[in-house]
Structure 1
C-alpha cells in the first residue's frame, strides 16, 4: 500500500475526513497530502483538515479539530446527546485553566475549569465523526453550578428526559453533584422525578 492509499484509508475510516496530524502520526510525508489536493482527490477545509469528495464535515468536528483541548459541555452536550432539540448558536466548550481563549470569541463560548477537566469526558459519534463531550451526568451537574448562567428552559426538560432514560446512572449523577457541591440544588429539581 503506497502513501496515497494509506491517507485515503485514514479518510475512509473517518467519514471522508483526514487531519494533517493523523498523516504525521502515520509517518507519511505531508507532501502526499498536497499531491492528493493537486489532483482533486482531497479538498482543504481549514488548516490541517482535508475532506474527500464524498466526505462530510460536521461543524462540531471542525471546532473540535480546531480546539482539541476543549470538551463540549453544558447545553451543547445536551444537544449532542439528544437531551435537547435546540442546536446551540455558539457551542460551549470547557477548557483547563490557563488556556488562551482570546481567539475563540464568537466561535465558542469557553468555560474555564481549574481541575477535573477529564471527569465525565467521553467520546461520542455525531454525524459520523468522533467528538469529545461530557457524559449526561456531568453535563446536568455542570448546569447547576452557580457561576454558570443556565438556560432552565433546556435544563428542566433534559432532566425529565434523563429521569425516564433506561441508561441513567443516578448514583453517578449524585456522586458528581456531591463532588461539585450542587447535591442540595440537584435534589430540589430531581426529587419529584424519581
Structure 2
C-alpha cells in the first residue's frame, strides 16, 4: 500500500481527526506502515492505540470524548459550547456515571475536571453541540446545565454562575422542562425561586 499525505488526511477527516490502530488496520495500514508513519513524523500517538495527524491541530473536545461514550461535557464547558458563558474553559468539565474508571483519561489530560452522578440521571438531557473547530460532541442541554449549576453552586465560579443564570432565565428558559429536571435533582423549590426572581 502506498502512503500519501492526502490519503492520511481523508482518512482522519472520516474519523474526526483521531483514529485508532484498529481503524487504521481496517483501512489497510499494517503495523509496519503505521511504524513508518510515526517514524516519518506524519502521525503522532495521542494516547494508547489512538493517533492524530502531526500537522493538524486536533480538536481537544473531540479527542477526549472519543476516549469513552460515557464522557459528557457539562457545567462550565457545556455552558461555553451553548453560548451561555463567554469564558473559554481552561479545565474541561465532564460528567460520567458513578463508578466509572477515568484514571487513565485524568492522567492523559490534566486539564479535565470530572463530575460523577447517579447512573439513573447520567443520561438526562444529553444533546449535541459543535466545537469551535467544527466537530460534534455530546453535551448536556441548557436545562441540565442550569440544574447542575444550582446543585453544585459552591464549586462554580461566581461570574460563570451569574451570567448563565441571567442568560437562561431571561430568554432561553423552558419552564416545563427545567422543573421536570429539577424534580430529578431534588432542587425544584430552588429552581422555582430563580424562575420568579429572574
TM-score between both structures, scaled by the size of structure 1: 0.77
Match of 1:161 in 2: 167
Match of 2:114 in 1: 110
Contact 1:78 1:136 in 2 (8 A): yes
The Cα shift of 1:92 comes to 1.7
Q: Provide structure 1 residue ranges, at least 5 long, that are not aligned to the other structure.
A: none
Q: Distance in 1 between matches of 2:47 and 2:13?
A: 19
Q: Distance in 2 between matches of 1:82 and 1:187?
A: 23
CA distances 1:129-182 after superposition (whole Å, capped 9, x unpaired): 2222111110111111158623332122112212344x5433212211122111
3-state DSSP class of the match of 1:109?
A: strand
Q: Provide structure 2 residue ranges, at least 5 long, that are not aligned to the other structure.
A: none
Q: Bigger shift: 104-113 or 31-40? A: 31-40
Compare the two structures and name the one with the higher helix fraction: 2
Change (3 A) 1:6 1:137: farther
3-state DSSP class of the match of 2:155?
A: coil
3-state DSSP class of the match of 1:11?
A: helix
Change (3 A) 1:36 1:128: farther
Which of the numbers 162, 170, 173 marks the counterpart of 2:175? 170
Root-mean-square deviation (Å): 3.2
Contact 1:10 1:18 in 2 (8 A): no
3-state DSSP class of the match of 1:98?
A: coil
Match of 1:128 in 2: 134
